[in-house]
Structure 1
Amino acid sequence: MKLKRNFNSSGQSGQQQNKAQAEPEPLYASLDENIRKIKMDLGNSTDIIIREIRSGKDKRTKVAVLYTDGLADKQVITDFFMDSLMQDSQIEPIEQISENDNRMESLKGMALQIGDNKEITDFSSLYNSILSGDTVILLDGCLQGISASTQGWKSRGISEPVAQSVVRGPQEGFTETLRTNTAMIRRKIKDQNLWLETKQIGSVTKTDVAIMYIKGIVNDKIVEEVHKRLDKINIDGILEGGYIEELIQDEPYSPFPTINNTERPDVAAAELLEGRIAILVDGTPFVLIVPTLFISFFQTAEDYYLRADISTLLRIIRFICLFIAMVGPAIYIAITTFHQELLPTQLLISLAAQREGVPFPAFIEALIMEVTFEILREAGLRMPRPIGQAVSIVGTLVIGQAAVEAGIVSASMVIVVSITAISSFVITGYSMAISIRMIRFIIMGLAASFGIFGIVVALIALVLHLCSLRSFGIPYMSPFAPLVLSDLKDTIFRLPHWAMSSRPRLINQKNVIREQMSPPTKPKT
């Protein structure tokens, strides 16, 4: 498979690169020197808690416990660290061993009773642990420290997805916590081949980014390409998955998204079972899915929870709405401007009567209404939810009615723009809907200049552009172009589950068989 890449990650200054490649500074043997340096490097921040205690026999062993207030669980620190360190009987054996022995290992085995812990030997790892919510223990005279997982910050609970709600199906969505999101996927796929790899991206934010895929189903070349593109990212901060999407996408100058996203664990699990890869970013409830296809933006989770005939009907409606949202106003402009003979006489007379007092051509009329509706849509999104809904509904009704009465636009144009706007909401992928809205204005301009001929040329150019796109080496328009007949069972038409026995062949090439099931038979009476 040919995998291509069209972006070069932005270079950093030589000073930043040298800093990133510099060797980490090791810890000091003196506890006082370590604490002094930590306070200096962290600006003596008040949320960095440093508890110095004396433990062991006769309280002669100096120990420091470091954590970040608000990120670490204080109850866990008190139960598993402070109580253990303050008990002489558990620390006493440390003073009985020689200096050449690893006293930190003895402390790790005797004093700590928490599961996830590791050794740290340098300040870079120490800072990363503290600022990630872990607790670090430093022992005077030791060149190592212990980092234990005590993360306990407040997080949003699991709730219903906002952008991808369904009538039938699971009513749970991802949260902003990475570990919660990975657990929700593992709860749906209980297989040892579900692999998870985590890396940190961002020289300042050090954001955790997880890559999940099913070994044996996924294409190993695509996994390598994902790692390659992520490793090329050289940026100071990653605050949301959109950063990652923009930096690793195949076509940065195409209006069409080549990376899909979802906030539903069931959708992510279904994509993994087809051989795709999920990229989870800490701090966002949206999971990136690669590779993605054009058809993926018109499929919903509910399509697989309803019967096949109902799902097929709903998908056909979505594609009809796609056509209306893209060329609806353009067709109206072209017919009323150049091709009036295509209309019945009565309809033509009615449209002419409506446009009698309108001072603008059809294109300007449509442009005014489209821009007005986009302003109302954006205002409704940015304002508080109760007020935003009122502004969108009342504003659209009042402005539309007033524009018609003032003679600025015709009533038929208000109808066309309204149907177009409603059709754009039917498109399930939000990023795809925005792309269609952008292209609509270009097609409107061509229709105003060349009529139906301009629309046809625009659609041909659009199809050629879509066929040239790739998502991590996979043709964007597959299985239509190239045509793969066996994969058409889950595109515009959704066949029953027993008929979808194979995975998409262009995405998965080594474990194609998904199920071996025969059609259901009627019971004998």
Structure 2
Amino acid sequence: MFFGPLIRAKKKQKKKEIVHELGFQEDKQPLERDLDRMVDRIKQELGNSPDVIVRTFQIGSSPLIQVAAIYIEGLTDIEKVNDFVTHSLLFEQKENELPQSNDPHCMFDVILSRALTVGDAKYLNDWNVMMHALLSGDIAVFVDNCEGSIIGNLRGGERRGVTAPETEVNIRGPRDSFNESIGTNVSLIRRRLKSPNLWLESMRVGNITQTDVSIMYLKGIAEDRLVEEVRRRLKDIRIDAILESGNIEDLIQDQTYTPFPTIYNSERPDVVVGNLLEGRIAVLVDGTPNTLILPTTFSQFFKAAEDYYQRVEFTVFMRLIRYFGFFVVMLLPSMYIAVTTHHHEMIPTLLAINLLAQREGVPFPVFFEAFLMEAAFELMREAGTRMPRAVGQAVSTVGAIVLGQAAVEAGIVTAMMVIVVSFTGIASFTLPGFTLTTSARLIRFPMMLAASTFGFYGIFMCTILIVAHLTSLRSFGIPYLSPFAPFGFKRQKDTLWRSPFKTPATRPGLIGPRQETSLQKDGVPSSDQNDQTSEG
């Protein structure tokens, strides 16, 4: 208790030293009035880089007033820069356009008023904010003997356009996806949600990178407690660099040491909009097309975007296939090992004779055989991912066929093991959420070890441990297995099956108590008070 204030003072001093060492100051620093000193300071701060362009002008009459426009080449749109300079700085000096006085402050106001007609321009008198704007692609205009600067939003440069999604492929639905520009990603969401209740909050994360991070949510649908918790966790991040949304995901998730993803990510705007309508929050990070969606539940990884664009019957069938594929990836190799090693009586007689004939001459036990084939399949999967797109798929397919056939002919593995591993690999591609597939691929190796040691008893024990672990997980206070555990019958409308849109339904009572009806009949909202409860 006695040393508490001293420790806090030392921590505060250490934080100031770190901030000063990184080149950022906590206090507001006003800009200098002398133009030459201001330009020299900016150049020195940026290491006299050749891509820092300084264009100087002289405007007004006797005496002439010095003006400088500074921007970074490659981050700004050159055409916009030329248009900005022409209309805002090199305007025709007609008597009705010049101020009554040739005072620099009056000229500064004239430039600012004309800059507003060209684009998004604003007045700034803070060194840190001005440098961040300059490094983000804005142009800064300074007038000699005037305090402050004019910042014009002329961001441009080389950017990837809006293309079709690559990781979340669909047959029916929109074909656009996010790109690396956070402004473009926000606009893609706003085009689909034309509501004044769609709120956007922005901040900068990373002491060195100063990465722009934004959160989007529907005011009145998203719970205020959840919004405040997300805002607090983002502001508490203390790290030098944020290069991708995966860095944010690792820093704000509830539990780090778990094989299961507790935050969903997507590159599809329609998926993000659908989750926003359910009361979730989207976290957008500049420089990556992957948008984080939170909170997240286990059933969310089995839903595809096209489930809501196709017939209900087909959607239910495909979701059952995905759940079956998940359990195949996690359990099929271990079940085969358990049956062939410990539980021979469960195999039909003719099949057992066939398996024994195949294993004749194979020198390795079943567990090592399965481990060898699974490892080889993972190697081919990784090689196909890293190789050039033109040859990656062909090489991985041919390699799997040739390797499997050669391994069987050489007597290293049995043909049944090749079938089991191949079927497991195919089943791993059925899940829309790729991160959950990775979890199943990791879990199947300890499951194989338990099956080889204890048989089905080992599989049952591992399954119990996995279920217990899943029930203990939380995603921003929401149970991870919700709505399966805790179970709610009325909340099963969009889990294993999907209710038809004609059915009166409410928004899922998953995020918070503000769950109004999402479907109206004859202009009257449906009333389902039992679905208004929160699980969090």
Shorter-chain TM-score bucket reads over 0.9
Structure with the larger RCO, 1 or 2 (CA within 8 Å, 6+ apart):
1
Shift of 1:333: 0.2
Aligned counterpart, 2:93: 88
1:55·1:91 contact (CA, 8 Å) conserved in 2? no
Which residue is 2:140 aligned to? 136
Q: 2: CA distance between counterparts of 1:90 and 1:264?
A: 54
For the Cα contact (< 8 Å) 2:25–2:128, is it kept in 1?
no
Letter in 1 for 2:17: Q
1:388 aligns with 2:377: no
2:238 pairs with one of 230, 234, 243: 234
Give 1:137-176 correspondences, 5 Å limit. Answer: 137-176=141-180
Hey, what does 1:4 align to over in structure 2?
Answer: none
**How far has the Cα of 1:159 moved from its partner?**
1.1
TM-score (norm 1): 0.93
RMSD: 1.9
Is residue 294 of structure 1 aligned with residue 294 of structure 2?
A: no
- In the TM superposition, structure 1's runs of 4+ consecutive aligned residues that sit over 4 Å from their partners are 10-14, 18-21
Partner of 1:205: 209
- TM-aligned CA distance change 1:269 to 1:500, over 3 Å: farther
Cα distance in 1 for partners of 2:205, 2:99 equals 39
> Structure 1 399/516 Cα, relative in aligned 2: closer, same or farther at 3 Å?
same
Which residue is 1:433 aligned to? 437
Give the 3-state SS of the residue equivalent to 1:57 in structure 2: coil
Cα offset, 1:91, TM superposition:
9.3
Structure 1 equivalent of residue 498 of structure 2: 494
The secondary structure found in structure 1 opposite 2:217 is strand
Offset, 1:67: 0.7
Distance 1:113 1:169 in 2: 39
1:445-456 to 2 correspondences below 5 Å: 445-456=449-460
Name the residue aligned to 1:282. 286
Give the secondary structure class of the aligned counterpart of 2:171. Answer: coil
Q: Identify the residue that residue 17 of structure 2 maps to in structure 1.
A: 15
After TM superposition, give the deviation of residue 471 of structure 1 in Å: 0.4
**How far has the Cα of 1:301 moved from its partner?**
0.6
Distance in 2 between residues matched to 1:421 and 1:53, nearest whole Å: 65
Percent identity reads 47
> Mind listing any 5+ residue stretches in structure 2 that lack a counterpart?
1-10, 523-536
1:215 matches 2:219: yes
Q: Which residues of 2 match residues 408-423 of structure 1 at below 5 A?
A: 408-423=412-427
Counterpart residue identity of residue 357, structure 1: G
Aligned with residue 56 of structure 1, among 56, 60, 74: 60
Cα-to-partner distance string for 1:60-89 (whole Å, 9 max, x where unaligned): 010000111111122222223234322323
For residues 378 and 207 of structure 1, the distance between their equivalents in structure 2, rounded to whole angstroms, comes to: 30
8 Å CA contact retained: 2:278, 2:508: yes
Q: Is the 8 A contact 1:48 1:66 kept in 2?
A: yes
Task: Count the aligned residue pairs.
Answer: 508
Cα offset for 1:155? 1.1
User: Which residue identity lines up with residue 88 of structure 1 in the other structure?
Assistant: Q
1:345 pairs, out of 344, 349, 361, with: 349
Spell out, residue by residue over 1:448-502, the C-alpha distance to the aligned partner (whole angstroms, 9 max, x if none).
Answer: 0000000011111111100110101100000010111111011011121122611
Residue in 2 aligned with 1:523?
Answer: none
Indicate conservation of the 8 Å contact 2:316/2:497, yes or no: yes
SS in 1 for 2:70: strand
**Contact 1:57-1:92 within 8 A present in 2 as well:** no
Once the 2 structures are TM-superposed, how far is the Cα of residue 373 of structure 1 from its aligned partner?
Answer: 0.3
